[in-house]
Structure 1
């Protein structure tokens, strides 16, 4: 059921705690989905990781990037706080696989 749901949605959202604890792949492994019998990445959700302080210490060997390199998943978009500055090495790994950091302001209320 999990992979069926992933095949029907554009993205999968997790928090940094899950990324740190599980080294997740966050892809869809159903036959016929992109990377599993179909061309391209059709049916593969975009992983989105909420990581305000950039504490997920990923590397090019993290499962999510191995899947992206092998055409079996997408690189993540990582949401950080605007004042967070990810390391140059993390930015290089993420962007070289097709992912990106998205910095958002942190505050209370709709005026933040």
Structure 2
């Protein structure tokens, strides 16, 4: 695999206000064992017309190598990277962190988290790039969130996960529009996940954009970082667009060789 180009230096001060304040490899102390949630960064690349792929299930290149390096820099600042099973099946992603300050440094090991209510992962994991990265000590095995009823009805799920060192996290989940993000993030915090970078796909993004803490009404997203590539993917593309209006605040823009990046918080 080709090495990443160097990180554009101007990205570091641009991104810094939107990143977790804690060391992602630090051990939980007493102040971090309460009911506070992990720091959630929602980030993805999209076209000008708000599409993240050219069609459902299609692997689509949108961003420049410059912002691909940025993505791995962002991963170096988080404990976990979360995607839906649809993204895993479409892209066969490695879900690791390749960013290094210099060649002598070791890569940060980030924990993949996959939302997979019916455990489709089991049919594809053994030949996946994700598993190969773990076998080569370049990545970690995932945490997989599976519907509790599915686990109870299929005992082979537990044995498969044990064999492959996959952490199985039971969830009582419904369709994505009703997904219990608050409970999921609390469960991940109990497993020493203090910061999570959510990358997709569309159903995960659209659902999380609307997710709120019922007690405070605040968004569960701490930071929103979107890369916008100079391309229209058309009406057949997979769209990111929540079902109601959302306003951004604390907005900053950065423009690189090809892409633009917007960082913000949600009102």
RMSD between aligned alpha carbons? 2.9
Matched, 1:88 2:153: no
User: How many residues are aligned here?
Assistant: 105
1:98 aligns with 2:165: yes
Q: Residue deviations 1:62-107, cap 9 Å, x none?
A: 1001000111000111001110135737843x43443221111235
Residue 74 of structure 1: aligned partner: 140
Distance 1:98 1:37, change over 3 A: farther
- Greater strand percent: which structure? 2
CA contact (8 A) 1:58 1:90 kept: no
Residues in 1 aligned to 2:140 and 2:99: alpha-carbon distance in whole angstroms: 15
Alignment of 1:17 with 2:86, yes or no, is yes
TM-score normalised by structure 1 residue count: 0.76
Structure 1 unmatched runs, 5+: none
SS state at 1:102 partner: strand
Instruction: Report what 1:46 is aligned to.
Output: 111
SS of the residue corresponding to residue 127 of structure 2 reads coil
Secondary structure of the structure 1 residue equivalent to 2:126: coil
Q: Which moved more, 1:63-72 or 1:98-107?
A: 98-107
1:24-35 to 2 correspondence within 5 Å?
Answer: 24-31=93-100
Q: Report if aligned partners of 1:78, 1:100 keep a CA contact under 8 Å in 2.
A: yes
Contact conserved, 2:93 with 2:130, CA < 8 A, in 1? yes
Q: Tell me the CA shift for residue 45 of structure 1.
A: 1.1
Gaps of 5+ in 2: 1-69, 181-267
